[in-house]
């Protein structure tokens, strides 16, 4: 049965697409002023796989720390409790939705695209002198998570959407509205809310294809909008239809950036994208076009 709203869809899968207990616990502790760094690190260390991946992230060139970080408590000291919470959620999210048919989407490509979006959004935010640019990495990686929900839970309808959109980034939202009555941005918004993550994440995800419609976090939304367009062209290049050609004019007005500036940044972060992809997803594989 087709859900009437994004809220109804997410409510129906709440117990299936939920964060692991360790993420929920860390999220609670970060919001609790009585929780210490040692308390949080002890919870993370209960999951050895998660601990190892977090340490690899913190020791990557992405952070460029002066020396090797050997413990989770030390990692928290460097990046802060809120950011480590966000990294925990990103790391865990890359392991969700493993059952989507490969005929519908190449998951390696999807996470390559998402990680590239996160890294670009973070770099653009620095150029705009935005406070806490690290949050943009998290939002960028998670910005299209609503698409995975649709592909995974509404497979038949998602196939119709793919046929209508024909692999063109700018057509997905309208195709979803035509078929479902709501978009993957709304689904992502509801999912992030159900995970009890900050509004600064959920609101950007909700409006990332239409930055002019955002009433909160407009700069962050515009930055992710630009980043996802360039990342889409990077992972799924087309000789005839560039996603960056369809960047909303309001995004340029809000950020003060130019396409030339952003394309230059894209050329500077290639190694970061490869490194973080390897840490979060695994070894890179040959890309294929979306079907």
* pLDDT tens column, 71-117: 999 998 888 888 888 888 888 888 777 778 888 999 999 999 999 99
Residue 256 near residue 34, CB atoms below 8 Å: no
Rounded to the nearest integer, the mean pLDDT of the chain is 89
Q: What is the pLDDT of residue 112?
A: 94
pLDDT at 287 over 70: no
Q: What is the pLDDT of residue 133?
A: 85
Q: Quote the tokens at residue 12.
A: 């129906």
**Which of residues 93, 123, 158 is at a domain's end?**
93
pLDDT at 18 over 80: no
pTM of the model: 0.89
Residue 230 near residue 120, CB atoms below 8 Å: yes
Alpha helices in 101-216 (DSSP H): 107-127, 134-142, 145-153, 155-165, 172-179, 184-194, 199-207
Residue 172 near residue 186, CB atoms below 8 Å: no
Q: What is the pLDDT of residue 21?
A: 81
Place of tokens 């799924």: 236
For 128-174, what is each residue's pLDDT tens digit? Answer: 999 888 889 999 999 999 999 999 899 999 999 999 998 888 899 99
Give the range of the structural domain holding residue 42, as residue numbers without chain letter: 18-93
Residues 229 and 271 in one domain: yes
Residues 148 and 23 in one domain: no
Residues 134 and 231 in one domain: yes
For 223-262, what is each residue's pLDDT tens digit? Answer: 999 999 999 999 998 877 888 899 999 999 999 999 999 9
**Which of residues 76, 93, 110 is at a domain's end?**
93
CA–CA separation, 165 and 160 (whole Å): 9
Residues 81 and 147 in one domain: no
CA–CA separation, 116 and 130 (whole Å): 19
116 occurs within a structural domain: yes
Q: What is the pLDDT of residue 149?
A: 93
Residues 252 and 111 in one domain: yes
Instruction: List for the chain the helix, strand, coil content (%; round to 5).
Output: 65, 0, 35
Residues 78 and 106 in one domain: no
CA–CA separation, 183 and 162 (whole Å): 13
Q: What is the pLDDT of residue 203?
A: 96
Q: Quote the tokens at residue 117.
A: 């979006």
Q: Quote the tokens at residue 254.
A: 């809000």
Higher-scoring residue by pLDDT: 17, 195: 195
Length of the chain: 291
Residues 181 and 212 in one domain: yes
Residues 156 and 178 in one domain: yes
251 occurs within a structural domain: yes
Q: Quote the tokens at residue 29.
A: 């502790």
11 occurs within a structural domain: no
Domain CATH code at residue 141 = 1.10.3210.10
Mean pLDDT, to the nearest integer, of 266-277?
A: 90
How many Cα atoms are found within 13 Å in the side-chain-facing hemisphere of 119?
A: 27
CA–CA separation, 136 and 120 (whole Å): 9
pLDDT at 283 over 70: no
What are the C-alpha distances in Å from 112 to residues 79, 80, 159, 163, 290?
A: 23, 26, 22, 22, 13
Which residue from 175, 284, 176, 287 is spatially nearest to 232, judged by alpha carbons? 287
Q: What is the pLDDT of residue 61?
A: 83
12 occurs within a structural domain: no
What are the C-alpha distances in Å from 247 to residues 204, 206, 226?
A: 16, 16, 6
8 occurs within a structural domain: no
Torsion sign across C-alpha atoms 215, 219, 223, 226: positive
pLDDT at 288 over 50: no
Domain count within the chain: 2
């Amino acid at each position: 049965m087709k859900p009437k709203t994004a809220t109804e869809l997410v409510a129906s899968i709440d117990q299936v697409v939920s964060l692991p207990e360790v993420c929920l616990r860390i999220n609670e502790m970060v919001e609790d002023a009585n929780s210490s760094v040692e308390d949080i690190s002890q919870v993370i260390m209960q999951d050895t796989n998660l601990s190892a991946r977090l340490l690899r992230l913190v020791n990557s060139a992405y952070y460029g720390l002066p020396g090797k970080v050997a413990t989770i408590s030390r990692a928290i000291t460097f990046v802060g409790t809120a950011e480590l919470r966000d990294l925990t959620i990103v790391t865990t999210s890359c392991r969700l939705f493993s059952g989507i048919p490969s005929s519908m989407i190449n998951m390696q490509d999807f996470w390559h695209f998402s990680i590239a979006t996160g890294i670009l959004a973070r770099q653009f935010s620095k150029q705009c002198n935005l406070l806490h640019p690290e949050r943009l990495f998290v939002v960028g990686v998670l910005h299209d998570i609503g698409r995975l929900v649709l592909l995974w839970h509404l497979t038949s309808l998602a196939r119709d959407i793919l046929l209508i959109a024909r692999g063109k980034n700018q057509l997905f939202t309208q195709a979803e509205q035509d078929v479902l009555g709501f978009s993957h941005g709304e689904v992502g918004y509801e999912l992030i809310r159900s995970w009890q993550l900050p509004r600064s994440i959920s609101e950007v995800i909700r409006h990332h294809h239409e930055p002019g419609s955002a009433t909160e976090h407009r700069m962050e939304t515009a930055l992710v909008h630009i980043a996802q367009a360039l990342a889409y062209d990077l992972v799924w290049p087309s000789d005839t239809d560039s996603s960056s050609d369809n960047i909303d004019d309001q995004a340029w007005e809000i950020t003060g950036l130019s396409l030339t500036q952003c394309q230059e940044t894209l050329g500077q972060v290639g190694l970061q994208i490869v490194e973080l992809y390897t840490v979060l997803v695994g070894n890179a594989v040959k890309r294929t076009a979306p079907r």
